[in-house]
Structure 1
Amino acid sequence: MNGTPRTTPDTTIDTGTDSGSGSDSGTGTVIVVGAGPTGLLLAGDLAAAGVPVTLVEKRPSRISNLSRAFGLHARSMEQLDARDLAEPLEAIGRRLEHLRFFDLALDFAALPSRFNHVLMVPQYEVEKVLRRRAVEAGAELRYETEVTGLRQDPSGVTVAVRGPDGNPGELRARYVVGADGVRSAVRHAVGLPFPGRAVIRSVVIADVRFAEEYGAQLTGDFVPGAFVVVAPFGDGYHRVVGWQRERNVPDSEPVDLAEVKELVRRVTGRDYGMHDPRWLSRFHSEERQVPAYRVGRVFLAGDAAHVHSPAGGQGMNTGLQDAANLSWKLAAVLHGRAPGTLLDSYQSERHPVGRAVLRSSGGMIRLAMASRPGARALRSAAVTALDHAAPVRRRVVGQIAGVGYRYDAPRGAHRLTGRRVPDVALAGGGRLYEALRGGRFVLISPDATAPDAMRDGDGRDGRADRLAVERWASGRRTAVLVRPDGYVAWAAEDPDPAATEAALAAHVG
């Protein structure tokens, strides 16, 4: 893409307050385009919240056994836990607590999370559990259906599609979310540029078996002009990602096992007797991000909004976080419990995170590619500095794991506002992420008067479907209102009932 916006008629509308009311046939509905992890999580969330949702995917309905992404970080696992999906993935994945990435040791065991590890699990397994949840919640999935354009008007979006029979048709919805990848048809339709560039070309990727013993952790090694990353899946296969400077060929150039073996031998001194490849491919890595995640009634998420190097394994994870941020906001607006302006916070919260991931993953891949003496010396100095600076190293691990990000808070807000809440213990033996499984806000209160919070502003029991009230197991005196995505919406020390009610009215409705 050359970075020049492509425009289509009627692609911008007023993004002011929108209660979700209206009379057109698309009222209260959402179309999600793209059935990867981002789109499936989003569609499942909306359907579970009672929002009619149609997921459109141009591929056939089968889930590919190509693993593509291969790791879930702590923040993604927390979000999956809030949907009761973490346990089945933990059962089939492999936990890695320590990673060695190009001489830098990264310790995930110290993360402030129940999931203090990286879970090695193929992307297709993640898609399986997300698709099952979406279908069971009532989402409509339309495969072999390609988006060919869209137009917006003040009440909704009309999406032009081509169905399995090749005939054109139209779908109508209140909002559309493009989660359709780096070549997003939705992004193209709204005329957004995708500025950036390719950062590394001709990277080989393979899932293979090893005949010789290999370490139990993910490792990255390099020599001048080449690097290799190896990660065990736990099912007998290992993911191998490698690059060598002089082998700069198109992505279409076939990869054979001999090329992978030669590359691994060059970097590590041995090929571990690799055999039985189930996937061999070649790709190039780009760094791109759209300037806006929202254009009127259309949103972009996952790779449709941002792509970056595979260093740190943050691609699928960042997309899942986009979906978790956007889904509850769409549901709140469509149910008339929040103004349409709430949807603007998707851009202000997620765009900076996408930009930060581009910077961190880009920095790691450039260190790995360093070949000139000065660049290699800089890499060695950076690794040494991190090894001797524990706070910086913890911050790096926290950002890779996704638990180190916070959202901006209004001036004068409590210091916890905008922060991610870990899986704290609750009175009665429960924990926060179990309480979040209903897709509701959770008020963690320091006293027993909190049940009054279940009443709405008219004194009626009107909040049970969108608010759970819990108490701290520790006896803490802070009241914390946790959003459905696990971030603090409001907090106060020993608040009076009026302050709590004002916060609930503002955030929960």
Structure 2
Amino acid sequence: MNGTGTQDTHSVIVVGAGPTGLLLAGDLATAGVPVTVLDKRPREISNLSRAFVLHARTLEELDARDLADRLESVGRPLENLQLFGRLDLDLGGLHSRFRHVLVIPQYEVEKALLERAERAGVTFRYGTEVTRLAQDADGVTVTVAASEKDSGKGSGKDSGKDGKDSGAPAPAPAPAPATERLRAAYVVGADGLHSTVRKSVGLPFPGHAVIRSVVLADVRLAEEPEALLTVNATGKAFAFLAPFGDGYHRVIGWNRDRVVSDHAPLDLDEVKEITRLALGRDFGMHDPRWMSRFHSDERQAPAYRVGRVLLAGDAAHVHSPAGGQGMNTGLQDAANLGWKLAQVVHGRADDALLDSYQAERHPVGGAVLRSSGGIVRLAMAHRPWSRGLRAAVAGVVDSVAPVRRRATGQVTGVGYRYPAPRGAHRFTGMRVPDVALADGGRLYASLRGGRFVLITPGAPETAAHPYDEGRKDRLAVEHWASDRRTAVLVRPDGYVAWASDSADPAGVEAALGRHVG
């Protein structure tokens, strides 16, 4: 950035330093794209997480970034994911290196992603709020100002905090912060439910609140729960307990008979009552450090791209917390978008490649809205017929193998595949599991660095061909550990870009030119 506040138009600005924005920024910087992250919050990472699980597909994406093992060492694996009542999913049969959900608070994920992004050279500007966007044929101009919180005008509004008047005179209003203009080739809005980026490009966010007056609390427990994650729903209430790992537990609960404004006072007695209604006891909750209310929306933007502006994570879609799919879906958005933006910015692919982000991720976002919405509605069932339906659904998922596989694939993310062009190989668009390679390595380790991986038949000494010549920075050439005869080009996000049952060099080279550049 030069003295006028103008930025290189080969760069990307990411708005929002949550998990989605951090993973995306780290991917872009690793690929050699200059990235600036803007966030209106201060630098400190809050431990007031809503997300508590990483699913198998997200762990695979993090494995491709050499982060999964670190997070596995901090979190705790759970092979059965309980959704409500008698419906739980056995994850032991997943065709993945990660046959479990990892119970881990969101702030630990953010910490790992932040460190990676900083090592890769991402520029961070905290306390910086986007006020306006304007795009043209060559780039996007972003107008920013110091955020209200950064200028000392913010105030905490969480229920459960005692805000007493000290009697001192109110401070004089701070002067309006100076604005600055930044310039980039593309802007990505990863700035959440109330996204300024989404509003600036005029995108609606249709939907509605699926459940109101959900309570959140961080508490200590006198009695340790038997399960790592404790969840249950009755006709009257539901509750969820998860450990932070620091002696506190997060409680999420809802009482059908106590639906009030998000701003209504909340005390520990109400949290205890909800927990007793849903779980049968309150585990001796005490010493809350934070309590609040929120409502859960179901919304999705009709488009994830408007010209040079793109949306990811909660800026693009929000849904109920049922199934723990929110943070995971956003991280998978970022994994899909990052390598595509890098290819376009470096001139290795046409700008039209970015349209495939919408084509691939928008349907997934819609499917997550439907599945999480279905789970929460069944959890809230209270009439006899709806509770009967819930029992029937649980029975079908438990006893019908194809239904169970589909449900497990949707919740964990491993079951999604992307649309393929007409006439493409049957593997195109499929997620590739962590297959073994001829040199003793594995696919997701080879994907590290944001590379494509070409897997061809034959042992290295008999299948040598300089496919990576001139592309070593973005292509790894590997060979099957098995006798498979198919040649497969795996994208940096772990999906098949191209495949052929005849691995002739001319065909492979043409595919590499088309996809890798």
**TM-score between both structures, scaled by the size of structure 1:** 0.92
* Equivalent position of 1:51 in the other structure: 33
Identify the match of residue 298 of structure 1 among 301, 306, 309: 309
**Mapped pair 1:31 → 2:13:** yes
* Equivalent position of 1:405 in the other structure: 416
- Paired residues for 1:104-119 under 5 Å: 104-119=87-102
* Equivalent position of 2:287 in the other structure: 276
Could you say if the C-alpha distance between residues 278 and 446 of structure 1 is closer, same or farther in structure 2, counting changes exceeding 3 Å?
Answer: farther
What displacement does 1:234 show? 4.6
* Equivalent position of 1:153 in the other structure: 136
Could you say if the C-alpha distance between residues 25 and 169 of structure 1 is closer, same or farther in structure 2, counting changes exceeding 3 Å?
Answer: closer
Q: Which moved more, 1:235-244 or 1:191-200?
A: 235-244
Q: Decide whether the 8 Å contact of 1:453 with 1:501 is kept in 2.
A: no
* Equivalent position of 2:360 in the other structure: 349
Gaps of 5+ in 2: 1-5, 152-176
Once residues 413 and 499 of structure 1 are traced to their aligned partners in structure 2, the CA distance between those partners, rounded to angstroms, is: 13
Once residues 213 and 52 of structure 1 are traced to their aligned partners in structure 2, the CA distance between those partners, rounded to angstroms, is: 47
Gaps of 5+ in 1: 1-23, 456-460
**Mapped pair 1:464 → 2:472:** yes
Q: Decide whether the 8 Å contact of 1:227 with 1:244 is kept in 2.
A: yes
Once residues 467 and 234 of structure 2 are traced to their aligned partners in structure 1, the CA distance between those partners, rounded to angstroms, is: 61
Q: Decide whether the 8 Å contact of 1:94 with 1:233 is kept in 2.
A: no
**Mapped pair 1:255 → 2:266:** yes
Q: What are the Cα deviations for residues 357-413 of structure 1, in whole angstroms up to 9, with x where unaligned?
A: 000000000001112222112112111222211221121111111111000011221
Once residues 56 and 14 of structure 2 are traced to their aligned partners in structure 1, the CA distance between those partners, rounded to angstroms, is: 25
**Mapped pair 1:193 → 2:176:** no
Secondary structure of 2:432 counterpart? coil
The one-letter amino acid of 2:125's match is: R
Once residues 347 and 294 of structure 2 are traced to their aligned partners in structure 1, the CA distance between those partners, rounded to angstroms, is: 44
* Equivalent position of 1:500 in the other structure: 508
* Equivalent position of 1:75 in the other structure: 57
The one-letter amino acid of 2:465's match is: D
Once residues 451 and 64 of structure 1 are traced to their aligned partners in structure 2, the CA distance between those partners, rounded to angstroms, is: 50
Identify the match of residue 173 of structure 1 among 163, 181, 184: 184
**Mapped pair 1:452 → 2:465:** yes
Q: Which moved more, 1:239-248 or 1:216-225?
A: 216-225
Identity of matched residues, %: 69
Q: Decide whether the 8 Å contact of 1:67 with 1:124 is kept in 2.
A: yes
Could you say if the C-alpha distance between residues 99 and 234 of structure 1 is closer, same or farther in structure 2, counting changes exceeding 3 Å?
Answer: farther
Could you say if the C-alpha distance between residues 340 and 334 of structure 1 is closer, same or farther in structure 2, counting changes exceeding 3 Å?
Answer: same
**Mapped pair 1:225 → 2:236:** yes
* Equivalent position of 1:336 in the other structure: 347
Identify the match of residue 427 of structure 2 among 416, 434, 448: 416
Secondary structure of 1:452 counterpart? coil
**TM-score between both structures, scaled by the size of structure 2:** 0.90
Could you say if the C-alpha distance between residues 338 and 274 of structure 1 is closer, same or farther in structure 2, counting changes exceeding 3 Å?
Answer: same
Once residues 254 and 318 of structure 1 are traced to their aligned partners in structure 2, the CA distance between those partners, rounded to angstroms, is: 32
Q: Decide whether the 8 Å contact of 1:58 with 1:144 is kept in 2.
A: yes
* Equivalent position of 2:491 in the other structure: 483
* Equivalent position of 2:123 in the other structure: 140
Secondary structure of 2:448 counterpart? helix
Q: Decide whether the 8 Å contact of 1:26 with 1:156 is kept in 2.
A: no
**Mapped pair 1:61 → 2:39:** no
Once residues 197 and 24 of structure 2 are traced to their aligned partners in structure 1, the CA distance between those partners, rounded to angstroms, is: 16
Q: What are the Cα deviations for residues 185-211 of structure 1, in whole angstroms up to 9, with x where unaligned?
A: 000100000000000000112233322
The one-letter amino acid of 1:28's match is: H
What displacement does 1:221 show? 1.6
Once residues 463 and 268 of structure 2 are traced to their aligned partners in structure 1, the CA distance between those partners, rounded to angstroms, is: 62
- Paired residues for 1:363-442 under 5 Å: 363-442=374-453
What displacement does 1:252 show? 1.6
Once residues 226 and 218 of structure 2 are traced to their aligned partners in structure 1, the CA distance between those partners, rounded to angstroms, is: 16
Q: What are the Cα deviations for residues 67-113 of structure 1, in whole angstroms up to 9, with x where unaligned?
A: 22111111111111111111111111111111222210211121111
Q: What are the Cα deviations for residues 94-142 of structure 1, in whole angstroms up to 9, with x where unaligned?
A: 1111122221021112111111111111111111111111111011000
Once residues 142 and 394 of structure 1 are traced to their aligned partners in structure 2, the CA distance between those partners, rounded to angstroms, is: 43
Could you say if the C-alpha distance between residues 450 and 197 of structure 1 is closer, same or farther in structure 2, counting changes exceeding 3 Å?
Answer: farther
Q: What are the Cα deviations for residues 275-312 of structure 1, in whole angstroms up to 9, with x where unaligned?
A: 23333221100000000000000000000000000000
Secondary structure of 1:158 counterpart? strand
Secondary structure of 1:241 counterpart? strand
* Equivalent position of 2:278 in the other structure: 267
The one-letter amino acid of 1:454's match is: Y
Once residues 68 and 364 of structure 1 are traced to their aligned partners in structure 2, the CA distance between those partners, rounded to angstroms, is: 18
Aligned length: 481
Once residues 254 and 210 of structure 1 are traced to their aligned partners in structure 2, the CA distance between those partners, rounded to angstroms, is: 22
Stretches (4+) displaced over 6 A: none
Secondary structure of 1:398 counterpart? helix
What displacement does 1:452 show? 2.2
Q: Decide whether the 8 Å contact of 1:453 with 1:504 is kept in 2.
A: no
Q: Which moved more, 1:75-84 or 1:254-263?
A: 254-263
Q: Which moved more, 1:293-302 or 1:208-217?
A: 208-217
Once residues 450 and 145 of structure 1 are traced to their aligned partners in structure 2, the CA distance between those partners, rounded to angstroms, is: 53
Once residues 304 and 326 of structure 1 are traced to their aligned partners in structure 2, the CA distance between those partners, rounded to angstroms, is: 14
* Equivalent position of 1:84 in the other structure: 66
The one-letter amino acid of 2:504's match is: D
Once residues 278 and 392 of structure 1 are traced to their aligned partners in structure 2, the CA distance between those partners, rounded to angstroms, is: 41
Once residues 485 and 30 of structure 2 are traced to their aligned partners in structure 1, the CA distance between those partners, rounded to angstroms, is: 33
* Equivalent position of 1:5 in the other structure: none
The one-letter amino acid of 1:117's match is: H
Once residues 331 and 463 of structure 2 are traced to their aligned partners in structure 1, the CA distance between those partners, rounded to angstroms, is: 32
Once residues 137 and 56 of structure 1 are traced to their aligned partners in structure 2, the CA distance between those partners, rounded to angstroms, is: 16
Q: Decide whether the 8 Å contact of 1:151 with 1:159 is kept in 2.
A: yes
What displacement does 1:453 show? 4.3
